[in-house]
């Protein structure tokens, strides 16, 4: 999957500036930006401030907080000059996204305290699209960005939002700015960058709906795989992510994660959940490792890290793994990761109704 984040930032900024250049002779300071408490001029400055902040975070790889700097305009800067600043800060974010390595991450507070280059690109595009909408609403202008820009944002940082037939109106609804006929209006919202769970030699990187779609279609999902990856099981898991996303039930915390080696940034497999916890707080986990990567302890390491991460949550009481009775290597993996064999009656109840070539083994890990 090609890194298109820089292009999307560039397109979003160009569309916004082109519209606002037509009304630079109007009063931006005395007019409110839609439903915001800011003036239109303050909102344009906010766009520029976010773009430079994201560029700085990503380029500098800030890890614990925002880099403490901001934009100060020269006295007498008019509306045209302010748009020059937006174009410049947009170009800086575009460059930062295009040049950042695949594995680069930097601090952002919501909700998992970091973002990768696609996340920063999507946040930048979101700021441009949404606040241009606010400004246009205040100034009485018609504004509708290209649908692929809204789709880019939704499939990267709004994995919890069920897609609609119109990406732009879905994004407006998801950010409390619009209505959809089959959904209640939102008063609170938050975007979600992909979750990364650290392990010793690996990082477990959350697969976004955009990555899942690419994997399901035969692509790499934006990851650099070892020579025999991704596996068929990984592609099937990606299809499960897409199904959950399209149904509006996908939760990034209980999705699929690519297992990426720290030493070279290569993905060696995938691991994830079959959905959110049930009413008893039980969540099922599964995994897939490329043949060339087996025998190195990667599956055990990743399983231990992801199970511990899940069990640290208040809504998870047990993580279960269901394994074919003759898959001894996989049973050894879960045992080394702290899972124990379930009682026979629990095993029968858990595996009842599942299609399998033979008996199934159920293993459980609790906090």
Q: Give the tens place of pLDDT for each residue, 195-238.
A: 999 999 999 999 999 999 999 999 999 999 999 999 999 999 99
pLDDT exceeds cutoff 70 at 9? yes
HSE-up of 200 (CA within 13 Å, CB side)?
A: 8
52 plus 168 within the same structural domain: yes
217 plus 291 within the same structural domain: yes
| β-pair type (318-324, 282-289) | parallel
Residue 186: inside a domain = no
Residue 60: inside a domain = yes
Of 203, 10, 211, give the one whose Cα is nearest residue 95: 10
169 plus 212 within the same structural domain: no
Phi, psi for 204 (deg, rounded to 5): -100, 105
Place of tokens 């595996």: 351
Query: What is the pLDDT, as a whole number, of residue 138?
Result: 98
Question: 50-64, 103-117, 345-359: which has the minimum mean pLDDT?
Answer: 345-359
362, 342 Cβ separation under 8 angstroms: yes
129, 145 Cβ separation under 8 angstroms: yes
Query: What is the pLDDT, as a whole number, of residue 349?
Result: 83
205 plus 67 within the same structural domain: no
Q: What DSSP state is assigned to residue 206?
A: E
Residue 181: inside a domain = no
Say which CATH number the domain at 28 has: 1.20.120.450
Residue 216: inside a domain = yes
Helix crossing, 5-20 with 117-139: angle to 10°?
Answer: 10
Structure tokens at 37: 């408490």
Confidence of residue 70 (pLDDT cuts 50, 70, 90): very high
Q: What DSSP state is assigned to residue 273?
A: E
Confidence of residue 27 (pLDDT cuts 50, 70, 90): very high
Say which CATH number the domain at 286 has: 3.40.630.30
Residue 68: inside a domain = yes
40 plus 165 within the same structural domain: yes
338 plus 283 within the same structural domain: yes
Read off the pLDDT of each residue in 256-263 and give the average, rounded to a whole number: 98
Provide the H-helix boundaries in the chain.
5-20, 40-60, 79-99, 117-139, 147-157, 167-174, 209-216, 232-246, 298-311, 328-336, 344-351
Question: Residues, the chain, total?
Answer: 367
Of 240, 175, 232, give the one whose Cα is nearest residue 207: 240
Taking the CA atoms of 2, 235, 293 and 261 in sequence, report the sign of the dihedral they define. Answer: positive
**Taking all residues of the chain, what is their mean pLDDT, rounded to a whole number?**
96
Question: 34-43, 265-274, 288-297, 348-357: which has the minimum mean pLDDT?
Answer: 348-357
Number of domains in the chain: 2
130 plus 205 within the same structural domain: no
Query: What is the pLDDT, as a whole number, of residue 208?
Result: 98
The rounded percent of the chain whose pLDDT value lies above 90 is: 94
161 plus 229 within the same structural domain: no
Query: What is the pLDDT, as a whole number, of residue 356?
Result: 62
Residue 190: inside a domain = no
Read off the pLDDT of each residue in 326-340 and give the average, rounded to a whole number: 97
Query: What is the pLDDT, as a whole number, of residue 357?
Result: 67
Query: What is the pLDDT, as a whole number, of residue 23?
Result: 98
Q: From 122, 144, 174, give the residue that closes a domain.
A: 174
State the residue range of the domain holding 291.
196-366
Helix crossing, 40-60 with 117-139: angle to 10°?
Answer: 170
pLDDT exceeds cutoff 80 at 354? no
pLDDT in tens, 226-252: 999 999 999 999 999 999 999 999 999
Query: What is the pLDDT, as a whole number, of residue 224?
Result: 98
Residue 89: inside a domain = yes
pLDDT in tens, 145-165: 999 999 999 999 999 999 998
* Distance from C-alpha of 8 to C-alpha of 231, rounded to nearest angstrom: 30
- Using alpha carbons only, give the angle 114, 119, 120 rounded to the nearest 5 degrees: 90
10 plus 156 within the same structural domain: yes
pLDDT in tens, 286-321: 999 999 999 999 999 999 999 999 999 999 999 999
Q: From 174, 208, 224, give the residue that closes a domain.
A: 174
Query: What is the pLDDT, as a whole number, of residue 199?
Result: 98
């Amino acid at each position: 999957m090609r890194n298109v984040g820089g292009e999307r930032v560039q397109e979003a900024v160009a569309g916004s500036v082109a519209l606002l250049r037509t009304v630079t002779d109007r009063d931006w300071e005395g007019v409110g930006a839609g439903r915001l408490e800011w003036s239109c001029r303050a909102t344009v400055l906010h766009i520029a401030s976010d773009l430079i902040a994201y560029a700085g975070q990503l380029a500098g790889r800030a890890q614990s907080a925002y880099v403490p700097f901001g934009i100060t305009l020269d006295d007498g800067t008019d509306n045209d000059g302010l748009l020059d600043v937006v174009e410049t800060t947009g170009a800086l974010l575009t460059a930062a996204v295009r040049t950042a390595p695949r594995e680069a991450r930097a601090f952002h507070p919501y909700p998992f305290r970091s973002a990768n280059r696609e996340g920063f690109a999507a946040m930048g595009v979101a700021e441009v699209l949404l606040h241009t909408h606010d400004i246009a609403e205040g100034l009485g202008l018609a504004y509708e960005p290209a649908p692929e820009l809204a789709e880019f944002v939704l499939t990267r940082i709004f994995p919890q939002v069920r897609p609609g037939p119109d990406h732009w109106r879905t994004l407006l609804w998801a950010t409390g700015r619009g209505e959809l006929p089959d959904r209640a209006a939102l008063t609170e919202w938050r975007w979600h960058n992909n979750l990364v769970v650290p392990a010793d030699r690996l990082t477990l990187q959350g697969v976004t709906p955009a990555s899942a779609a690419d994997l399901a279609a035969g692509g790499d999902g934006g990851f650099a795989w070892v020579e025999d990856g991704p596996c068929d099981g990984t592609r099937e898991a990606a299809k499960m992510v897409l199904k959950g996303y399209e149904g509006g039930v996908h939760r990034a915390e209980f999705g699929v994660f690519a297992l990426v080696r720290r030493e070279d940034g290569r993905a060696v497999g995938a691991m994830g959940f079959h959905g959110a916890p049930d009413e008893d707080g039980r969540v099922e986990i599964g995994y897939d490792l490329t043949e060339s990567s087996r025998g190195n302890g990667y599956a055990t390491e990743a399983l231990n890290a992801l199970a511990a991460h899940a069990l640290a949550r208040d809504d998870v009481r047990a993580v279960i793994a269901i394994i074919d009775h003759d898959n001894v290597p996989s049973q050894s993996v879960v045992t080394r990761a702290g899972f124990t064999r379930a009682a026979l009656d629990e095993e029968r109840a858990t595996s009842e109704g599942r299609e399998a070539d033979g008996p199934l083994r159920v293993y459980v890990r609790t906090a």
